Structure 1
Amino acid sequence: MLDTNVLLHDPQSIFKFENNNLAIPVEVLEELDAIKSEQSTERGRNARRVHRILQELLPDSHSLLEGVKLNNGGTLSVIINRYFESNDFSSPAMQRFRAVLHDPKKKDNRIIACALYVQEQYAPPTILVTKDVNVQLKARAVGLESEDYLNDKVPEVDDEDGYREVPVTIYELQRFCSEGHLDVGETMDGQPPLEINEYVLLRSDEDKTMPARHISKGNVRRLRIPEFVKAPGGIPIRARNLEQQFFMDALLDDSISLVTCFGKAGTGKTLISTVCAISQVLDEMGRFDGVSISRPVIALGKDIGFLPGSLEEKMKPWLQPYYDALEVLMPSKPPKDPQFAAKKVAKKKVRKFGDDSPSESSSGIATPVKPYERLITNGVVEIEALCFIRGRSIARRFFILDEAQQLTPHEVKTVITRISEGSKIVLIGDPAQIDNPYVDSRSNGLVYCHNRMKGHAVSAHVKLSKGERSKLAELAADLL
Structure 2
Amino acid sequence: MSYAYSEPRMEHPSASSTVRPNLNVTGLVKTYVLDTNVLLHDPRSIFRFEDNNLAIPVEVLEELDGIKGEQSTERGRNARRVHRILQELFPDHRSMLEGVRLETGGTLCIIINRNLESTLGSPALQRLRSVLPDLTKRDNRIIAAAVFVKETFPPPTILVTKDVNVQLKARAVGLLSEDYLNDKVPETSEEHDYRRLTVTVYEMQRFASEGEYRVRLDAKKPLQINEYVLLQTQEGKTMPARHFGEGMLRKLRIPEYLKAPGGIPIRARNLEQQFFIDALLDDSISLVTCFGKAGTGKTLLSTVCALHQIKEDTGRYDGLSITRPVIAVGKEIGFLPGTMEEKMKPWLQPYYDALEVLIPSKPPRDPQFAGKKAALKRKKTETAAALPANGAAPAVPIKPYERLLKTGLVEIEALCFIRGRSIARRFFILDEAQQLTPHEVKTVITRISEGSKIVLIGDPAQIDNPYVDSRSNGLVYCYNRMRGQTLAAHVHLTKGERSKLAELAADLL
Settle same-fold status: TM greater than 0.5.
yes
Structure 2 CA distance, aligned partners of 1:359 and 1:195?
61
TM-fit CA distance, 1:162: 2.6
Q: What pairs with 1:135-146 in structure 2 (closer than 5 Å)?
A: 135-146=166-177
Shift, 1:205, TM fit: 1.3
Q: 1:436 aligns with which of 451, 460, 465?
A: 465
Alignment correspondent of 2:382: none
Distance 1:64 1:138 in 2: 28
Aligned residue number for residue 66 of structure 2: 34
How do 1:192-341 and structure 2 match up within 5 A? Answer: 192-282=221-311, 285-335=314-364
Cα distance in 1 for partners of 2:446, 2:386 equals 41
* Identity score, percent: 76
Shift of 1:183: 0.5
Uncovered stretches (5+) of structure 2, i.e. residues with no partner: 1-32, 371-384
List runs of 5+ in structure 1 lacking aligned partners. Answer: 342-355
* Offset, 1:415: 0.2
Q: Does 1:91 align with 2:117?
A: no
Name the counterpart of 1:405. Answer: 434
TM-score (norm 1): 0.93
Instruction: Please state if 1:105 is matched with 2:125.
Output: no
Q: How big is the alpha-carbon RMSD for the aligned residues of Structure 1 and Structure 2?
A: 1.8
What is the rounded CA distance, in whole Å, between the counterparts of 1:211 and 1:357 in structure 2? Answer: 51
- Does structure 1 retain, via aligned residues, the 8 Å contact 2:387–2:393? no
Output the CA distance in 2 between the equivalents of 1:273 and 1:160: 24
Taking a change above 3 Å as real, the CA distance of residues 210 and 424 of structure 1, as seen in their structure-2 partners, is same
**In 2, are the aligned partners of 1:6 and 1:130 still within 8 Å (CA)?**
yes
Whose Rg is larger? 2
Tell me the distance in 2 between the aligned counterparts of 1:223 and 1:157.
28
CA drift at 1:359: 9.6
Q: Distance in 1 between matches of 2:204 and 2:388?
A: 56
Residue 157 of structure 1 and its aligned partner are, at CA, apart by 2.4
Asked if 1:63 corresponds to 2:95, the answer is yes
1:388 CA displacement? 0.2
**C-alpha displacement of 1:365:** 3.4
Could you list the per-position Cα deviations for residues 155-197 of structure 1 after superposition, in whole angstroms to 9, with x for gaps in the alignment? 1224534311111111111111111010112227xx5210000
Q: Which amino acid aligns with 2:404?
A: L
Decide whether aligned partners of structure 1 residues 147 and 282 sit closer, same or farther in structure 2, where only a CA change above 3 A counts. same
Q: Return the alpha-carbon distance in structure 2 between the equivalents of residues 394 and 415 of structure 1.
A: 10
In structure 2, distance between residues paired with 1:470 and 1:410: 36
User: Structure 1 pair 145/333, CA: closer, same or farther in 2 (3 Å)?
Assistant: same
Task: Please tell me the residue identity of whatever aligns with 2:108.
Answer: L
Deviates more, 1:244-253 or 1:197-206: 197-206
- Say if 2:181 is the partner of 1:170: no
Alignment CA distance shift 1:338-1:471 (3 Å): farther
Cα contact 1:62–1:68 (8 A) shared by 2: no
| Cα pair distance change 1:140/1:338, threshold 3 Å | farther
User: Contact 1:358 / 1:368 at 8 angstroms: preserved in 2?
Assistant: no
Q: Structure 1: how far apart are the matches of 2:388 and 2:352?
A: 19
Deviations 1:361-402 (A, max 9, x none): xx8232111110110100000000000000000000000000
In structure 2, distance between residues paired with 1:166 and 1:37: 56
- From 192, 204, 210, give the equivalent of 1:179: 210
Q: Residues of 2 paired with 1:156 and 1:19: CA distance?
A: 25
CA shift in 2, pair 1:61/1:144, >3 Å: closer
Q: CA 1:300–1:184 in structure 2 vs 1: closer, same or farther (change >3 Å)?
A: same
Question: Residue 308 of structure 1 contacts residue 314 of structure 1 at CA under 8 Å; is this kept in 2?
Answer: yes
Task: In structure 1, give the amino acid aligned to 2:193.
Answer: G
Per the TM alignment, residue 204 of structure 1 is displaced from its structure 2 partner at its CA by 1.1
Give the paired residue count. 460
How many angstroms does 1:115 deviate by? 0.3
CA distance in 1, matches of 2:250, 2:366: 36
- Tell me which moved more, 94-103 or 450-459: 94-103
Structure 1 residue aligned with 2:9: none
Structure-2 separation of matches of 1:357 and 1:7 = 58
Please, which moves more after superposition, 191-200 or 417-426? 191-200
Classify 1:52/1:358 alpha carbon distance in 2 versus 1 (closer, same or farther; 3 Å).
farther
Residues of 2 paired with 1:435 and 1:49: CA distance?
A: 26
Task: Give the match for residue 505 of structure 2.
Answer: 476
